[in-house]
Amino acid sequence: MVKKLNYGMVGGSLSAFIGAVHRIGASFDGKTHLVAGCFSPNEKSNRECGEYFELDPERVYASYTEMAEKEAAREDGIDFVTISIPNNHHYEAAKAFLVNKIHVLCEKPLCFTVGEAEELKKLAEENHVLFCVNYSYSGTNMVKEARELIQKGMIGEVINVNAEYLQEYLVDDIGQSEEKMVKLSSWRKDPEVAGISNCVGDIGTHIEHTVAYMTGLKLKRVAAKLDYFGQPLDLNANILVEFENGAHGVFCSSQVCVGHMNGLVVRIFGTEGAIEWVQENPNILSVTFKGQPTQIYNRGMGYVGTRSQETNRLPSGHPEGVYEAFANIYRAWVEAILKLKNNEALTEADMDFPSIDAGIEGVKFITACVESSKLDAQWITIN
């Protein structure tokens, strides 16, 4: 009986942003062991990372293709890889591990084009491996509670969605020359590295997935207006959306909203009630049933649903946040791979992590928003 998994990382050197959050999330339940990596194209930084994590120097690789091939050839090779590098490498890196039959957990946005995304799905199926796209907010406990309440029909049929993801960190880029632009994560503003979108690709896609996860609804079409403020990629986007069930909504995604740090807010309106979740206050859910005062649901209390109970880690009142959201995704991911390794059948309930289909929907969404904006916010059909 296999009880623990070995994994490797692509990206996530010691100076990277989200790589460390992956390592912490993966380690929460004590079932993973980091044994290999290609953490940086910079030789020194790659080596230092390997030393820091006390890896066998033979398993610190200069390229992810070499890592995929050599790990696949080892008897004790990695069971899965976490890909946490800038967007332009996602497709090639994921492909390298898929063809070597290694399970892949990849950062969002999945890749640059819908064709690439669909090819990755085909490769995952052909090679019988699992694929997770890290839409991390769907790992949040109270997002799971929102999903369960909506699935149970507690707010009736979803008729309207109002969601936003507002940041301010690029406001100083407005009207600036390249030399004066904010340096933080400057690759996000480079079309060669980030892809066709900065703001929608980086954070708008989180809105799209968090709403899809909570409601179970698929987007049918979008009408978007992206603002570039003289920069090569968008810094702000206002998007009208229509879902397959006929419901409509508005998504606002921005990196130029003064006073907002990481303001993902999702409001779902149904025929019988409404739900609101605020990422910066993630342990509560505001729930209003028609004709009643708004109720505050607290994470960890006895009245929350099954999935929220199952993914609860701390007693109520002890805040859980981004690390726990990552940990919940890793828990489901690791348990699913363990089941496969132990020849146990996977059920739908085992697959509570964002799949390759979520990644494909994300790429479709980004592509449609950019296309719509070029056509002065014409409706563009996604599905």
Element spanning 222, H or E: strand 219-227
**DSSP conformation class of 74:** S
Residue 375: CB minimum distance to ligand NAD, A: 26
Residue 382: CB minimum distance to ligand NAD, A: 21
Counting contacts by CB under 6 A, is residue 185 touching ligand NAD?
Answer: yes
**Only segment of 10-18, 112-120, 253-261, 364-372 that touches ligand NAD (CB under 6 A):** 10-18
**Only segment of 73-81, 83-91, 219-227, 338-346 that touches ligand NAD (CB under 6 A):** 83-91
Using DSSP's 3-state secondary structure scheme, residue 216 falls into: coil
Q: Of the two residues 102 and 274, which places its CB atom closer to ligand NAD in the complex?
A: 102
Interface residue with ligand NAD, options 5, 7, 8, 12 (CB under 6 A):
12
Element spanning 97, H or E: helix 90-99
* Cβ pair 38, 48 in contact under 8 A: no
What is d(CA 222, CA 209) in angstroms, rounded to the nearest whole number?
14
What is d(CA 13, CA 340) in angstroms, rounded to the nearest whole number?
30
Using DSSP's 3-state secondary structure scheme, residue 51 falls into: helix
Interface residue with ligand NAD, options 18, 78, 199, 287 (CB under 6 A):
18
What is d(CA 303, CA 301) in angstroms, rounded to the nearest whole number?
6
Counting contacts by CB under 6 A, is residue 195 touching ligand NAD?
Answer: no
Q: Of the two residues 37 and 300, which places its CB atom closer to ligand NAD in the complex?
A: 37
Could you tell me how many residues of this chain bind ligand NAD (CB under 6 A)?
A: 25
What is d(CA 137, CA 191) in angstroms, rounded to the nearest whole number?
25
Strand pairing class (158-166; 248-254): parallel
Q: Of the two residues 69 and 272, which places its CB atom closer to ligand NAD in the complex?
A: 69
CA 134 vs CA 195, 303, 354, 364: distances in Å:
18, 29, 6, 16
Q: Of the two residues 262 and 288, which places its CB atom closer to ligand NAD in the complex?
A: 262
Q: Of the two residues 145 and 202, which places its CB atom closer to ligand NAD in the complex?
A: 202
Q: Of the two residues 13 and 312, which places its CB atom closer to ligand NAD in the complex?
A: 13
The half-sphere exposure of 341 on its side-chain side, counting CA atoms within 13 A, is: 18
Residue 82: CB minimum distance to ligand NAD, A: 10
Positions in the binding site for ligand NAD (CB under 6 A): 10-13, 16-19, 38-41, 64, 84-87, 89, 107-108, 134, 136, 185, 187, 202
